[in-house]
Structure 1
Amino acid sequence: MFAKSISYFFLGLALLVSLALVILRPTPEFNYDFDQFFPQQDPDLDFYQEFKRTFENDNDYLLFAINNGEEDWLDSSFLAKSFQLQQSIELLDGVDSVISILSLKKPVIGVFGIRETQVLNWSSEANLKRTSADLSIYRSGLISEDGEAFLLWIKNEQNISKEKGDQVYESIQAEFRKSGIVPLAVAGKIQAQGDFVKLMQSEFGLFLGLSFLLILLVLTLIYRNWTAVLIPVIVLAVGVAWAFAWIVLSGRSLDVMSIMQPTIFLIVGMSALVHFFTHLSNELRTSEKELAIRSVFKILAIPVGLTILTTGLGFISLYFTTIPALKSFGLTTGIGIFVVFFAVIGITPGLLFLLPVKFPRANQSKARPFLLGILTWIFHQKKKIAFGFLGLSALCILLGTQVKINGFLLDSLPKDHPIQADLNYFDAQFGGSNPLEISIQAQSSEVNLLSFEALQEIHKVEEKLNELFAQREFISPVTLAKILNQAQNQGDVDAYVFPSPAQYQRMSRWINRASKEYEGRMISSDLKTARISGRLPDLGSLEMQKRREALEQFVGEEVDKNLIAFRWTGTAYLIDKGHESVTWQMARGLFVAFLLVGLIAGFLFKSWRISLILLIPNLFPLFMMLGLMYMLGVEFKLSTAILFSVAFGIAVDDSIHFMTRLKFELGQGKNLLYAIKRTFLETGFAIALTTLVLVSGFGLLIFSQFEVTYFTGLLISASLIFALLADLVLLPVLLLPMKKVWEAKNPGNLEE
């Protein structure tokens, strides 16, 4: 397969494929969709989908905080200009409605029925002074807590696409620029998605460029020959281009996790090339070029291919989680790694035959005395080493049990990003920007959710929510009762409270009629389903879980279960639930990774003992990651838990290289001790070198502004260093007890 003629054929084929891609010009598209972090095949997701059909999405809105600079915003000319801005935004395509204190009206029940009056009237200074004195009940809702700004709540089109959302947001910004009003803070789905995508595009290009610069630097330092540098650069550039072409042509867009893919593809491909080139440098000293190339690729194609397979499967194991974003990232990255490897074995031999290549002599030979000294020490200290690794593992497991599970809606975003500052402002002044949704369901056909008995139960729950979340204002059928109570008291702000039985009796003739205005937003047309909705700060999944449990306990003890039922739902709840399922997601991914690697090892070595021995040292870096997370204060969440299966898939590569070489040495009739020695000396340098390449590559990711990318770089780099120690120190110790078993068999035959 690796003869010169066949290698040239594959080189020509690769050229044709690359030219076809140049003609097709597949262009990556970036996207960030919160729905991709919902746990799939989950009854709560099914419930939310049904809930949305009755009401609406809970996060299709934009919040704009508006003030008048250093001046008071309660100025008639500024209010007129702001209202004109609101009206122009309402006319934009893609905008459903706009709510603010400027357009808010309150009903007043009089002799001739219900009439509506403007909450804030700036038609004259007298009217402005009179109506602005009654705005206290709107604090932290439509007016900031400090009274210095008001809220423009823009509801955009439901289920809006990323492209349409960008257009709507730009149109709204254009109206602001036209009006001369500069918003104090902005928050909302389509704004966050747009900013995420811009940052993703920036970092994608940054890490692609940095990864290539790193490869040039490493290759120059190792090989010090222009063709030994040029060939890997060409191969990896083509491989990465093929990988992303496959992702684009398969119809997938790039998301926040895709930022890591250029580095992953380049570094994994680079590590494979380092193995080939390190062994080729040895062969060229004793063999002719053509024979050396054929020999190296024939011998190493399978073991290097197996390491690529385990690395790819480490990512593909994420496909067996329940989070769409993780499934897509795992599948595209795993297959992309395979595509890069096909480029490595399909293009590299042809380029090596085509171009002159020289390698330095001294690197590996100088390392042999050092490696021999390490191996001698290992043989003399095997008991201490075994107990040392066992003790460290136990300590890290103990520390790992203290790591908390906690995630935030936008925790991937940099802490100093302008969006975070805006979110902090909304948390402090407007009760937050995260949606809260609770479904209310009548428990029998006789129950009317606007009956006084049902409203009492809902009011109890709202009171508990106020206690749990520091007096936030929520919207529910109780809101309608409060509005009508205020209306029958001539709009008195002090009457905006839950009605007494007598007050309810007075409004009963109006309440069903008034509910028609809120159908599909607050309550269903049959009055059997309703919602409590509001906005909260992003407290994190850990704190929200505690408060949800407190509310559920209260409902179980204080609410009439035969009357109505309450159920948490909504975007924030589903994302928090995804974070809370992180232990299961991690265990699921690791189990699949262990199973696949175990099957590969069993097939390769035809021994369950070898499979077990190969897996044991690769548990050590995972335990060390647990300990490191505890010491660094890193919490479990979707973006960190997935790293365990990924790290395992990459770390096991060195063990496969070691065990493959050991099998070869035993097949030559050597006894176990000598075979371990030969394996250690022949593969130790290559393993250390590829680990250096991998750590350098993944280390680049710590410069990312995204939390998920940062921790991927930090934790996987650390795990690879721990894996190197385990493979070069612990693995030989684990192999020594197998001496009698192997020597009782025919040398070279590892079958049980």
Structure 2
Amino acid sequence: LYFSKHPWIGLGIILLVSAIAGSQIDKLEVRISANEMLVQNNQEQEYYRQVRSLFGDEQISLLYLASDNLLARDKLEALKRSIAHLKKQPFVERVESLFSVPWVKTVDGYLDKKPYLDPDKLPDSPEQAQHILDEARKNPFLRNVLLSPDKDVMAVAIVLKKADVDNPAWNDETITNSLNGIAASLKPFYATSFSVGFPQVRTEIAERIRTEQMHLFPLAVAALLIALFLLLRQLIDILLPIMTAGFSILWTFGFMGATDIPINVVTSIIPILLIIVGSTEDIHLLSEFRHGQKSGLDAPASLKHMSRRMGGIVLLTFITTYLGFLSVGLSRIEVLWQFGLVASTGLALNFLATIILIPSVLSLAGKWQLDGKSRMYSGKSYLLAKRYWEWLWRHRLSIVIVFLVWTLVAIIGIPRIHINHNAIDSLGKDSEVRQKIELINQNLAGLESLSIIVDSGIEDTFLKVRYLEELEQIQKYIREKGWSESSTSFADYLSLLNGAFQELDEPMMPESDDIITELMIFLNHDDVKAYITQDYSHARILVRHSIESSEKLQAVIEDLQQFIDHNLDAGLEARITGDSVLTLSATNAMIRGQLQSIALLLVIIVLIIGVLFTELKVGLLAALPNFFPVIVMFGFMGYMEIPLNIGTTMAAAIAIGIAVDDTLHFMLRYNRELKARKNHNIAMEHSIYGEALPVVSTSIALIAGFLVFTQASFEPIVQFGALGALVIATALVADFVITPLAVSSLRLVTIWDVLSLRLRKNVLEKSALFKNLKPWQIRQFILSGRMVEYAKGDFVFRRSEVSTELFVLLTGKVDVCLPDQEGSCNLLEQFYPGDVFGDVALFANIPRKTDAVAVEHSTVLVLTREGIERTMRHRPLISARIFANLTADLSRRMIKLISKQQLKSRSGNPKKGGKS
């Protein structure tokens, strides 16, 4: 109302906030971090930090090379130049390849540790090259890691320095471009040559985010424009939602820049969400404004009508949607926390833009004539709403059965849902980086890894054969299960050393502790620091794997941990950790957190609606049309084999927060219509008629907007869009089927009705009707009636009227009299404030026998039989007390009336005296 009266102030505020936000946008950046997908500050992550401090922290990218004659001279010369180039890169710690990994063997009685390939003496013949390959494949640190055991594939491991965010030379994009350039220089020599690692994954994600923002943003705007044009057909009404969304996006970007929250794979969808979600309340406001104009009001009166009717509702629906977005951020995963904070803040900014911009612009331009093409508020539309409600009520039993069957079918599908969340899942199947990783998984051990840390707490433990065999036993179990093509440990290195020392064809574990003591003379701890601590009390088994499924990885880790618990020496403790374990932990935390968010959001919705309508059961019934779409969504995921991941878990919480808006709008509309029309069928018809345009408009706009996400290349975002559209579409059906049937059985009284009702406390508390009732209960009961003013001499009711109303006098005085044949009125009783009258005819269901006339200006509370019966159904305790009070009052009055008639009879017919 304020901004409709002062539009230029509103527009000035909009421009000022936009200028402030715009000054922060240059700080906004696209940033993809590995840690942002992990659970923050948990025990798993703290333990992994300790492991990295003990064994080192190596971030590796692979240079993948495939060709016939891998060790041909021309290929090796080119590879040698490339490795030299790699070593000069500022982000490279070291490079591991056949040129650097030692070939441990005995030469002339001495232990030789020269690399498999001597840079100064390359193999002269194919036979020599093949011999080197055969020997290298015996080395467990090379087999399936840098060399395929049965194919012409090898790799160069590029160990990256620890990331330095302040050094632009070390960012993901620079690393990716440099490595891709070096890999490209080898393509003339190798059939396949590429570089791949997690910097490349993050770079592709960042690049796709930039590309898709340019691609999806116009699609979202176009979808909203088309939906608004088809449904509203009014230029200002079409432009205003776009304007509020545009300003809120600008302000949100400014907030992200000021708080150093980056655009990442999740926060990148927020601008499009603001376009989609931000338009919903705009449509409701504009629809109510145009409805006022259609009713004959001018622009200022229509704005007042819009503000009075929609202000509180828009605030409530903003709160529920805000909580839906905020609930996503309850997770301890940084990227979800960022999304929840930014999305909810963006929604709050959109709410501010809406309540400032729409009344300001409508105040200036709302008086423009309508184009007359909208027919949504025509008589024909009302007739359709009437017929629809009659059909719905007539077939309510069949409809309830259909929905119950639908729900049951969905519930059966829920157990089929599986969990799968992996960084690679963010990329589409056509992703070049994903295809490269799949080649690594097929021909080598894979990029993913986990570590098994075995701790004795005693120095030199793992210099004894007995404990080295414990490591071997675990590795053997992993091989037998087929979980990994490469598991390496300190035991493998000692086996290599022992095989060379004893001039064996294959590596072999030392047979005694004495042999190990001799071998230690030739061991340099720097060669094995990734596998054993300096005091030899902690050992590490490094397992490289290609398991992409979160469920399978979970099963593998549980099986492996169970094996260790049952078979490991009692003096040792073992724990599984690593990037894969942290990712799995984050996945479980994310799924658990989002499911908890959905449950919490539903509880909050029930409580909000319960408080709003003063009864918890109203909140429970109102939750049905919002709980139903969630069940359908999860059932659909089960049947369609859509996994739970970062996108799909967000869809339910966000969509519920949005979908509940229409339920609230419908219920509050019905509450107003019921108070105005006093007939629940007519009230429901008008509710359906009044809400059809805004609910259908917002739902179609939301569905179209969510479907825009299906054009993304990130699989979780595609699934998020498809499931979001499914939830909104299902909620639309529920809002026009479940909501009307559920609401029609309720007597809706809002807390605003109760608090805003002006009562004559001194009158009502003394009234016999409300004896022993609390003020709150009195308010709830009398809201089923209406206040009527009567001037002096007005009839409250007349003799012979068939009435179903009961009256409570609030102010003034009323006489009830019995008319006679001469037209005069014999006074039966006078009623004063607090008295009840007219109750005999109400309960006897007969025409009235008396007249009731206001002796002076009077205010009367009129209670109908229908309203009283509804109160009986919904508030039985209050009704029981009311009827007890009515019975007592009626009995008292009847006795008083009989006594009065007896006195009159005696005074009119005195006993005759006479002789005895």
- TM surpasses 0.5: yes
Structure showing greater Rg: 2
Q: Quick check: 414-423 or 531-540, which moved more?
A: 531-540
**Which range moves more in the overlay, 248-257 or 515-524?**
515-524
1:228-307 equivalent positions in 2, closer than 5 A:
228-285=237-294, 286-307=296-317
Please show how residues 206-225 of structure 1 align to structure 2 within 5 Å. Answer: 206-225=215-234
1:169 counterpart = 2:176 = yes
Root mean square deviation of aligned Cα? 2.7
Contact between 1:228 and 1:357, CA under 8 Å: does it hold in 2? Answer: no
How many angstroms apart in 1 are the aligned matches of 2:555 and 2:123? 50
Corresponding residue number in structure 2 for 1:362: 375
Does the aligned pair in 1 maintain the 2:422–2:548 contact within 8 Å?
A: yes
Give the structure 1 partner of residue 11 of structure 2.
Answer: 11
Displacement, 1:43? 2.3
Separation (CA, whole Å) in 1 of partners of 2:78 and 2:123:
15
Question: In the alignment, which residue of structure 2 is the partner of 1:489?
Answer: 502
Inter-partner Cα distance in structure 2 for 1:231 and 1:399: 42
Mapped partners of 2:558, 2:412: distance in 1: 27
Equivalents in 1 of 2:516, 2:361: separation in Å? 86
Q: With the length of structure 1 as denominator, give the TM-score of the two structures.
A: 0.93
Q: How many residues align?
A: 743
2:158 aligns to what? 154
2 CA distance for matches of 1:168 and 1:606? 61
Higher relative contact order (CA 8 A, sep 6+): 1
Which amino acid letter does the alignment assign opposite residue 444 of structure 2? F
Instruction: Report the equivalent of 1:140.
Output: 144
Aligned residue for 1:189? 198
Determine the structure 2 residue equivalent to 1:735.
743
- Residue 428 (structure 1) shift: 1.0
Counterpart CA distance in 1 for 2:292 and 2:237 is 15
Instruction: Report deviation, 1:718.
Output: 0.8
Matched to 1:98, the amino acid is: V
Structure 2 residue 594 is the aligned partner of structure 1 residue 586 = yes
Q: Which has the higher helix share?
A: 1
Is 1:348 aligned with 2:358? yes
Of residues 286-295 and 365-374 in structure 1, the stretch that sits farther from structure 2 once superposed is 365-374
| One-letter identity of the residue aligned with 1:275 | H
Q: For 2:533, what is the secondary structure of its paired residue?
A: coil
Q: Give SS of 1:474's match.
A: strand
Distance 2:681 2:233 in 1: 36
Confirm or deny: 8 A CA contact 1:440 1:566 kept in the other structure. Answer: yes
Question: Secondary structure at 1:82's aligned position in 2?
Answer: helix
Q: 1:483 to 1:565 in 2, by over 3 A?
A: same
Contact conserved, 1:39 with 1:578, CA < 8 A, in 2?
yes
Change (3 A) 1:413 1:351: same
After TM superposition, give the deviation of residue 682 of structure 1 in Å: 1.2
Partner residue in 1 for 2:449: 435
Q: 1:477 and 1:540 mapped to 2: Cα distance? A: 29
Amino acid at match of 1:630: G
Counterparts of 2:381 and 2:676, CA distance in 1: 24
Matched, 1:639 2:647: yes
Indicate the residue corresponding to 1:682 in structure 2.
690
In the alignment, the residues of structure 1 paired with residue 71 and residue 425 of structure 2 have an alpha-carbon distance, to the nearest angstrom, of: 36
Alignment of 1:335 with 2:358, yes or no, is: no
Shift of 1:660: 1.4
Q: Compare 421-430 and 228-237 and name the one that shifted more.
A: 228-237
Pick closer, same or farther for the CA change 1:83–1:357 going to 2, 3 Å: farther
Rounded to whole Å, the distance in 1 between the matches of 2:270 and 2:282 is 18
Q: What is the Cα deviation at residue 244 of structure 1?
A: 2.0
1:154 alignment partner, SS class:
strand
> Taking every aligned residue pair, what percent have the same amino acid on both sides?
21
How many angstroms apart in 1 are the aligned matches of 2:220 and 2:310?
A: 25
Corresponding position of 2:437? 423
1:746 matched to 2:743? The reply is no
Relative to 1, partners in 2 of residues 1:380 and 1:74: Cα closer, same or farther, differing over 3 Å? Answer: same
Unaligned runs of 5+ in 1: none
Question: Matches of 2:496 and 2:369 in 1, distance apart?
Answer: 83
The code of the aligned residue for 1:722 comes to T
| 1:447 and 1:454 in contact (8 A); partners too | no
With structure 2 as the length reference, what TM-score do the two structures score? 0.77
1:468 to 444, 458, 481: 481
In structure 1, the residue matched to 2:789 is: none
Task: Please identify, of 243-252 and 131-140, the stretch whose mean Cα deviation from structure 2 is larger.
Answer: 131-140
CA deviations over 1:80-117 (Å, ceiling 9, x no partner): 22122112212221211111112222234578864322
Shift of 1:463: 0.8
Equivalent of 1:456 in 464, 469, 484: 469
Residue 176 (structure 1) shift = 4.3
Q: Provide the residue aligned with 2:893 in structure 1.
A: none
Q: State how far apart, in whole Å, the 1-side matches of 2:600 and 2:369 are.
A: 41
User: How far is 1:473 from its partner?
Assistant: 2.4
Separation in 2, partners of 1:736, 1:217: 34
Whether the 8 Å CA contact 2:65–2:155 is kept in 1: the answer is yes
Distance 1:594 1:332, change over 3 A: same
Q: Is the 8 A contact 1:317 1:589 kept in 2?
A: yes
The counterpart of 2:540, out of the listed 531, 548, 552, is 531
How far off its partner does 1:266 sit? Answer: 0.5
1:605-624 aligned at under 5 Å gives the runs: 605-624=613-632
> Which residue number in structure 2 is paired with residue 97 of structure 1?
94
1:142 Cα deviation after fit? 1.5
Could you tell me which residue of structure 1 aligns to residue 332 of structure 2?
322
**DSSP 3-state at the match of 2:343:** helix
Instruction: Answer whether contact 2:444 2:485 (CA < 8 A) is retained.
Output: no
Compute the displacement of 1:329 (Å): 1.1
Are residues 141 and 231 of structure 1, via their aligned partners in 2, closer, same or farther at CA, if it must alter by over 3 Å?
A: closer
Matches within 5 A, 1:53-132: 53-57=53-57, 60-67=59-66, 72-108=69-105, 114-121=111-118, 122-125=121-124, 128=129, 130-132=131-133
Q: Which residue of 2 aligns with 1:478?
A: 491
Who is 2:635 aligned against? 627
Q: Distance in 1 between matches of 2:383 and 2:288?
A: 18
1:397 is aligned to 2:408: no
Counterpart contact for 1:406–1:541, Cα < 8 Å: yes
Q: Deviations over 1:122-175 (max 9, x none)?
A: 435155465344233244221124432310100101245495233233333344
Amino acid in the other structure paired with 1:271: T
Which amino acid counterpart does residue 622 of structure 1 have in structure 2? Answer: V
What is the CA-CA distance between 1:465 and the residue it aligns to?
1.2
Q: 1:98 to 1:641 in 2, by over 3 A?
A: same
CA, structure 1 residues 41+668, in 2 after alignment: closer, same or farther (shift >3 Å)?
Answer: farther
Give the Cα separation in 2 of the matches to 1:207 and 1:368. 38
User: Is contact 1:33-1:193 (8 Å) kept?
Assistant: yes
User: Which residue of the partner structure matches residue 514 of structure 1?
Assistant: 523
User: Partners in 1 of 2:694 and 2:748 — Cα distance?
Assistant: 29
Deviations 1:528-564 (A, max 9, x none): 22211132113311112222222223223322132x2
In structure 2, relative to structure 1, the CA distance for the partners of 1:133 and 1:689 (3 Å cut) is closer
* 1:582 Cα deviation after fit: 5.1
CA 739–387 in structure 1, closer or farther in 2 if over 3 Å, else same: farther
Q: Is it true that 1:31 corresponds to 2:45 in the alignment?
A: no
Shift of 1:41: 4.8
In the alignment, what sits opposite 2:669?
Answer: 661
CA shift in 2, pair 1:41/1:124, >3 Å: closer
* Whole-angstrom CA distance in 2 between matches of 1:92 and 1:178: 16
Partner SS for 1:619: helix
What SS does the aligned partner of 1:184 have?
A: strand
Match of 1:98, SS state, is strand
* CA distance, structure 1, for counterparts of residue 654 and residue 484 of structure 2: 44
Distance 1:596 1:471 in 2: 46
SS in 2 for 1:186: strand
CA contact (8 A) 1:61 1:154 kept: yes
Counterpart CA distance in 2 for 1:171 and 1:740 is: 67
Whether contact under 8 Å (2:452, 2:577) holds in the other structure is: yes
Unaligned stretches of 5+ residues in structure 2: 751-779, 787-870, 876-916
Question: Are residue 565 (structure 1) and residue 569 (structure 2) matched?
Answer: no
Superposition deviation, residue 179 in structure 1:
6.3
- Residue 495 of structure 1 aligns to a residue whose secondary structure is coil
**Deviations along 1:178-198, whole A, 9 cap, x unmatched?**
666676243211111111100
Contact 2:487–2:543 (8 Å) recurs in 1:
yes
Distance in 2 between residues matched to 1:264 and 1:25, nearest whole Å? 19
Q: 1:185 to 1:450 in 2, by over 3 A?
A: farther
Deviation at 1:78, TM superposition (A): 1.8
